Chain A
Amino acid sequence: MKKAVVYLQDGTIFEGRSIFSSGESAGEVVFNTSMTGYQEILTDPSYAGQIVTMTYPLIGNYGVNKEDVESNKIHVKGFIVKEFARRVSNFRATKSLTDYLNENNIVAIESVDTRALTRHLRLQGAMKGMISTEDFDPESLAKKLRAVPSMEGADWVKEVTTKEKYIWEEGTSSAFKVAAIDCGIKYNILRILTKMGCEVHVFPATATIQEISAINPDGLFVSNGPGDPAAVPYVAETVKNFIGQIPIFGICLGHQILGLALGGKTYKLKFGHRGANHPVKDLAEDKIAITSQNHGFCVDTDSLPKGEVEVTHVNLNDQTVEGLIHKKYPLFCVQYHPEASPGPHDARYLFHTFINMMKGANATT
């Protein structure tokens, strides 16, 4: 067992231990409050560039399996927990979490006072940090950390988007053709759309309008993804062209990109929303969904053009905007994750909304 440290940009140090991996890794340090779903979180491309700490202290209890992945690899820069399970127990487990992390060369440490770390991030805001099992010298760590770019303004999408366009292969039916712009799309979005009768064509984030139009899609989906939405203006530009043309649905980063495409602005939250227990109110229905969230940026509602866009959902914890709809065109988006994975399935109905929108559009054309 090796000593390890978490070194934060503001000089704060948290001690821990490494039980298998050694090395060093830097990124934005964030916390996630979900009690389950670590495999989904590790493989969620939206965490690219981030070191994730889990607030639930006992991680790895049910191991990992082949099904619960949200992309083809682990995206987190590092993983900080209180305690990794030494023994796995679940009928679907094929491997232990520690083996999984080790095989993927992820720097992961335990025995950290993750509650103290979380409180620190809550009070001081998400910040850059480093985990190391080799270097414990604050000055040297600070120097290394200075070389790491900040989350704000960084384009992480290009790191995680698909290189080639592809069609999601699960499922056979194909009532609707959906073009999905992959900014770091989670598999569960693809699984759900496909299950609901869509043929999903996944495009790189850099795909051109022509490339997308070429498949003649019934709807456009703008996916979740990592980092600052303002750093990927090219996606907003692409999306703009389809507003009013075909139904558009955006999730998370996709929601922020749509906000930008509609003329709005985004800003960085102090420590973001990452968890599976956020109450979101559907203003029209006066109903609450418990949602899965993972975002560090947010759309500024005041910046949106008045009269065109309406706020449909708000976060009841901090009143931030969680959903938008266009008053004229078939376009809506949410800041949270209706595909869950991990998290509650309360917001699944939004996929139906998208399907219905495409049905409506087909009926009128």
Chain B
Amino acid sequence: MPRRNDIKKILLIGSGPIIIGQACEFDYSGTQACKALKEEGYQVVLINSNPATIMTDPEIADATYIEPLTPEFVERVIAKERPDALLPTLGGQTGLNLAMKVSEQGILEKYNVELIGAGYEVIKKAEDRECFKQAVLKVGLDVPESAFAHNMEEAREVAKKIDFPMIIRPSYTLGGTGGAIVYSEEDFERLAFLGIESSMINEILIEESIAGWKEYELEVMRDCKDNVVIICSIENIDPMGVHTGDSITVAPAQTLSDKEYQEMRNQTLKLIREIGVETGGCNVQFAVHPNTGRIVVIEVNPRVSRSSALASKATGFPIAKFAAKLAVGYSLDEIRNDITKETPASFEPTIDYCVTKIPRFTFEKFPEAGDTLGVSMKSVGETMAIGRTFKESLQKGLRGLEIGHSGLDNKLDYNTISDEKIKMRLQVPNASRIFYIKYALQKGMSVDEIYELSRVDPWFVANIKEIVDFENALIKEFKQSKTLSVEALRQAKQFGFSDAQLSEIMKTDELSVRNLRKEAGIKAVFKLVDTCAAEFEAYTPYYYSTYEQEDEGNAVKKTDDDAPKRKIMILGGGPNRIGQGIEFDYCCCHASFALKELGCETIMINSNPETVSTDYDTSDKLYFEPLTFEDVMNIIESEKPDGVIVQFGGQTPLNLARRLNDAGVPIIGTSVESIDLAENREKFSNFITQLDIIQPKNGSANSVEEAVQVATRIGYPVLARPSYVLGGRAMKIVYNKKALLEFIEEAKDVSQGHPILIDKFIEDAIEVDVDAISDGENTFVAGMMEHIENAGIHSGDSACVLPPHTLSQNLLSQIKKHTCKIAKGLKVVGLLNIQFAVKGEQIYVLEVNPRASRTVPFVSKATGTPLAKIASKIMAGKKVADFQFVDPETLEHISVKESVLPFSRFSGVDIVLGPEMKSTGEVMGIDVTFGAAFAKAQMCANQSLPQEGKLFLSVNDTDKRNIAFLAKKLSDMGFTIFSTKGTARALKANGVKVAIVDKVGDGKNNLLAMIKKNELRLIINTPSGERSQSDMRSIRSAATVYDIPCITTLQGAWAAINGIETSKEKGFVTKSLQDYYKEREKQCAAS
């Protein structure tokens, strides 16, 4: 069937900010979908609140709305754009839920918008647990024993019929939020209550625990002619009980015979037909009893998902792109397989390698939360590795994870770990279990014992044992002959051992191992990911490395002109983590787009399957490889690029810059020397002083004594941190010697021999972030962002506004001058980010980063200037003067960036912000007034400001002087104010009406009780710097659980008041980015 001609304009909903459970995979799928629909001649309207996405680039959709993902704003966009159809299946759970809401509210009907891909009934059947169970049973399939409950009485009734352990799953939540395994009656009471609360419809499913069963996923696609194909099967190494997103998974399934696999395939077909997903991608999860083979259906997602992104990268089959085409009427056989060109998309990919996905956790950021894994997702990113064997892909994946492991290495000496600890770490799922399997094997535990404890399938454990046994053989061989034979080295490489791992065995350095094996002729070869196991010719250069006979590195025939092009390689950012996420991938993609525009051949290296950069469409060549020195050098030696870009992928490629430079790799852009200068405290201080720019007093320390001396010299409070880290890892504001000593103890692991940096902390200063582009001579200041919170909160966590709204012209032009001076002094070629602090009329430079910053996409979206693209072109030789820039200060609209925090995932963690970054993502509010933009940003971040009701106000002593006016205003706006004694006294003295409430305790007016009764609408609580307030901590944590906006600075409170006023007046403007830019161009032309 050809494309539908009865629809012209299609609305897509994005997935909003990066949060745990919903990351850049939906930018990947959304971007693919927008491009595919545009290619077919449809007009595409997009609504998404996340500015750091490729999909919100103005050239991807026809009209792009950066607006809150709420029914109200979707309606505004629909009313304005009048689309014919809404495609709800590409924006993750957020997009799907929002489509359901606008459908239920009659908005789609009102404006005559058709849901395509999956209709309302279909989504309900898959998402509503009771409907889903009925659908599964109807087609004769099996599910775990279970029943629903909508309140505690019902829940207790159900629980009587099911044995412990049981699982509680709330309906309509994301990434399994609120889901939990229950082992006892006490747990049950608490977790059932939380589950009911977190469900959008106050419903939970209580079910038989199938923890420990084998877990599988099938990715499936269906077209309008009812053709169904399976794209990929995935087997989880961590068995049932650990959220799939937190499991190490492998593709394809390894331990199913054809009979079982086909049974699962048949069940999948029955399910997708019964649920009625009309067209598109879908994912089905199964659990299999390891001893009986009983198969039960766990879940169906009637949309593209994290797993479908993984499956696309694992097979080369672009699920989201094809899902979009199927949604507008094409059938699978009418779509061509991009990779083979001659064969259609109506087939099932077959692969000739093994793919391992490993989640990346960030427990180090939340030390109070344990690293135990369960049914609620906690990982913030993932890496994927491709190898010809499981052993190879596992080891590649572990080094690609960038957590300091060079493979399945020996970071911990197994001799130092007790048997009890090993047993515990095997039995209770956790983030480092894979290493404990190794330690257990090293200690002599058998494969079966390990299986009994961990329920990790013996096939996987046995493969790990092969790695361990082989490592032992290598150690023995080296002991005997003081070297390793060519055969041993070759097999080691085939088992995935990195040069770094081998250097430990051979007691030498990594480079020596590299040279040794290269001399022996052991070199990485590159193989293609081609969807068909080499059965057909592949035209897409998507590669992975391995150690085998044939190198296909240059096997792909060039289709366009064969004229030699300048080859530029871009190093990506690896797995997402807090501090290094989608923003850097956005920059890498832009580098590739821009350099292609300049006629260069672009080569991307990355290991993150969620990203747009690892879409084989993004660059001319894609290498899906870990970003380690060894793996990158292998590709460089094979490709011999003319230039390598390291400043876009965040800290990952920057950390390699020095070694690559030393190895003679042509790094383009800002020199490695300048990067070092900016990182080296002492050199940097001298440099800044020479430029006549002021820095907070500072020093660096290599020992505890030195640190104390430095801190005493410059005076407390100080900001202390290790050097060479991103996202303010382990950074802290310390107010006294005791706290400093504690900090040093904690930071030991992170700093790894690098000195500790100590700065004077400037209290009550306004922080300003600047992004600029320079060619070494001239510099363009592309954006200045004024932080809404005080300096001291990590820039990645703080809200900021562009253009600045309180700073004077004079200050701004000084900041600009400083920026240009620094850029010229550092000979920056490309991007530059500087953080300034302003106190009174004094400007301090806090930090200079001669690389892409997290705010590049935000500034690009806010100003319409594509910073990363321009910077890439400058790195390739263009000059600042070659571009036409628009002064961001002339913008008529205001953009506010707000961060999104993951605290609700980590129960018990304090939500106070500080110099260490904790947010996972960001959103943007754009409007013509600050209040409107701020209010939108808050809505985008899912903390909509209340318009009236009860609020709690409690501030520290410093802030007490400044709250009277603020409180009066809130009171006038119709809020009832509750305060603690101290704050209440200050307010009463100024004539503000206030009720006193206890923070905790048994009293009736107990704050915690008010939160739990859902009576509070807003909390404003500024914590005092040095005292740890354990009672306030529990309040803030509770507020997180109950989704009550919690503001921790006075500046934030003022911004909120501003926003509340605008919301009350409904003074919002709904305008597409394209229209904002057009207006700006008109102004420029006029002036």
Residues of A within 8 A of B (CB): 14-15, 31, 33-37, 39-40, 55-58, 61-62, 65, 67-68, 82-83, 85-92, 111, 113-116, 118-119, 122, 275-279, 281, 286-288, 290, 316-318, 340-345
* CB–CB B550/A290 < 8 A: no
List residues of chain A with CB within 8 A of the CB of B388: 57, 82-83, 115
Interchain residue pairs with CB less than 8 A apart (19):
A33-B532, A35-B350, A55-B352, A57-B354, A61-B459, A85-B462, A86-B462, A87-B465, A90-B255, A92-B259, A113-B548, A113-B550, A115-B534, A118-B535, A275-B535, A276-B350, A277-B350, A288-B227, A290-B347
List residues of chain A with CB within 8 A of the CB of B332: 288
Q: Does B769 contact A (CB under 8 A)?
A: no
Interface residues of B in 334-359 (CB under 8 A from A): 342-344, 346-354
Query: Which of B226, B230, B256, B262 sits near A90, CB closer than 8 Å?
Result: B256
Known: A119-B550, A276-B258, A344-B265. 14 other contacts (CB 8 A): A33-B350, A56-B351, A57-B354, A58-B354, A61-B254, A91-B289, A92-B293, A115-B550, A122-B535, A122-B537, A277-B347, A287-B226, A342-B262, A345-B266
List residues of chain B with CB within 8 A of the CB of A36: 253, 256-258, 261
Complexed CA–CA distance, A85 and B447 (Å): 14
In the complex, the number of residue pairs spanning A and B with C-beta atoms less than 8 Å apart equals 164
* CB–CB A58/B254 < 8 A: yes
* CB–CB B258/A277 < 8 A: no
* CB–CB B533/A279 < 8 A: no
Complexed CA–CA distance, A63 and B550 (Å): 29
User: B354: nearest residue on chain A (CB-CB)?
Assistant: A58
Interface residues of B in 218-263 (CB under 8 A from A): 225-227, 229-230, 252-262
* CB–CB A37/B258 < 8 A: yes
Complexed CA–CA distance, A202 and B265 (Å): 31
Complexed CA–CA distance, A287 and B223 (Å): 11
* CB–CB B351/A317 < 8 A: no
* CB–CB B227/A89 < 8 A: no
Complexed CA–CA distance, A234 and B347 (Å): 36
Complexed CA–CA distance, A290 and B231 (Å): 12
Nearest chain A CB to B278's CB is how many angstroms away? 16
Complexed CA–CA distance, A343 and B230 (Å): 12
Interface hub of B225, B258, B343 (most chain A Cβ within 10 A): B258
Interface residues of B in 453-468 (CB under 8 A from A): 457-459, 462-463, 465-466
List residues of chain A with CB within 8 A of the CB of B447: 87
Query: Which of A55, A87, A318 sits near B534, CB closer than 8 Å?
Result: A55
* CB–CB B350/A55 < 8 A: yes
User: B291: nearest residue on chain A (CB-CB)?
Assistant: A91
Nearest chain A CB to B237's CB is how many angstroms away? 12
Interface residues of B in 252-297 (CB under 8 A from A): 252-262, 265-266, 289-293
List residues of chain B with CB within 8 A of the CB of A56: 252, 350-352, 533
Nearest chain B CB to A139's CB is how many angstroms away? 21
List residues of chain B with CB within 8 A of the CB of A37: 257-258
* CB–CB B536/A317 < 8 A: yes
Asked, given contacts A35-B252, A316-B333, A343-B262, whether A91 binds B292 with beta carbons under 8 Å apart, the answer is yes
List residues of chain A with CB within 8 A of the CB of B535: 31, 33, 55, 118, 122, 275
Nearest chain B CB to A9's CB is how many angstroms away? 18
0 or 1 for each of B436-473: is its CB under 8 Å from A? (1 = yes): 00000000000100000000011100110110000000
Q: Does B151 contact A (CB under 8 A)?
A: no
* CB–CB A57/B389 < 8 A: yes
Count of residues in B whose CB is under 8 Å from the partner chain: 60
* CB–CB B262/A344 < 8 A: yes
* CB–CB A317/B347 < 8 A: yes
Nearest chain A CB to B552's CB is how many angstroms away? 8
* CB–CB B457/A115 < 8 A: no
Q: Does B549 contact A (CB under 8 A)?
A: yes
List residues of chain B with CB within 8 A of the CB of A65: 257
Q: Does B425 contact A (CB under 8 A)?
A: no
Complexed CA–CA distance, A86 and B534 (Å): 26
Complexed CA–CA distance, A31 and B343 (Å): 19
List residues of chain A with CB within 8 A of the CB of B458: 87, 89
Query: Which of A31, A275, A342 sits near B258, CB closer than 8 Å?
Result: A342
Nearest chain A CB to B31's CB is how many angstroms away? 28
Query: Which of B261, B389, B548 sits near A58, CB closer than 8 Å?
Result: B389
Nearest chain A CB to B311's CB is how many angstroms away? 14
Complexed CA–CA distance, A290 and B345 (Å): 11
* CB–CB A278/B347 < 8 A: yes
Q: Does B897 contact A (CB under 8 A)?
A: no
List residues of chain A with CB within 8 A of the CB of B975: none
Nearest chain B CB to A269's CB is how many angstroms away? 12
User: B457: nearest residue on chain A (CB-CB)?
Assistant: A89
User: B233: nearest residue on chain A (CB-CB)?
Assistant: A35
Nearest chain B CB to A47's CB is how many angstroms away? 15
Q: Does B527 contact A (CB under 8 A)?
A: yes
10 cross-chain pairs, A with B, having the tightest CB-CB distances, nearest first: A87-B462, A116-B550, A37-B258, A342-B258, A55-B533, A113-B549, A89-B459, A36-B258, A277-B348, A113-B548
* CB–CB B227/A287 < 8 A: yes
